[in-house]
A and B are shown apart, each in its own frame.
Chain A
Amino acid sequence: DQQVKQNSPSLSVQEGRISILNCDYTNSMFDYFLWYKKYPAEGPTFLISISSIKDKNEDGRFTVFLNKSAKHLSLHIVPSQPGDSAVYFCAASARREKLTFGTGTRLTIIP
């Protein structure tokens, strides 16, 4: 049972435009959400997180939006840069016990 779903395996965006990555979850107990970025041959690196008491969190070019009623979160990257090309994973936890990851979305930024 995949509790965290990333339904788009891949996404291509032109440099300078906005990249929007989506994630859906089914477990209503999840109260903390994170986004990770992964380059080939490296481990995932933390990007940004959001608690369920918020609906938006920003960090530079990265903004995460949380819609609890729809059990949906999204990551916006503005403007997109070539170095943003990577696989993006969303993750969720309940009571900070463990992280449950989605299957990832491969983002390609086209110069």
Chain B
Amino acid sequence: KAGVTQTPRYLIKTRGQQVTLSCSPISGHRSVSWYQQTPGQGLQFLFEYFSETQRNKGNFPGRFSGRQFSNSRSEMNVSTLELGDSALYLCASSLRLAGDEQFFGPGTRLTVL
């Protein structure tokens, strides 16, 4: 069974631009969660989608948004990029519950210049 895939793996943007990251969950998994990882901060929860609906949201500004498609694939978007948005963005999928064992993709490394 193929694992969680994320594209692109690396991205360089400049301040003020916007970016879209993509995630394909494990086949059959319906819950997709997104995390931001920065040094010293661990994994900060962004949001979780289930059956195309945002079911849970972390404490991030409205510049961070996401969506999920009918095939469970998910995208997250960050608008008006700031230097502090430079981070590793991780996507994880689980069968049904976001608080169960999650399977992670390799992440997208975003650098904002």
Contact of B62 with A by CB under 8 A:
no
Interface size class of B (residues with CB under 8 A): 20 to 34
Q: CB distance B43 to A44 under 8 Å?
A: yes
* Closest residue of A by beta carbon distance from B58: A98
Interface residues on chain A, number (Cβ under 8 Å): 26
Across the interface, B42 reaches (CB within 8 A) one of A34, A45, A102, namely: A102
Contact of B70 with A by CB under 8 A:
no
B47-89 vs A, Cβ < 8 Å mask (1 yes, 0 no): 0100000001000000000000000000000000000000000
Across the interface, B92 reaches (CB within 8 A) one of A43, A94, A102, namely: A43
Contact of A81 with B by CB under 8 A:
no
Contact of A93 with B by CB under 8 A:
yes
Q: CB distance B101 to A46 under 8 Å?
A: yes
Give residues 66-86 of A contacting B (CB, 8 Å): none
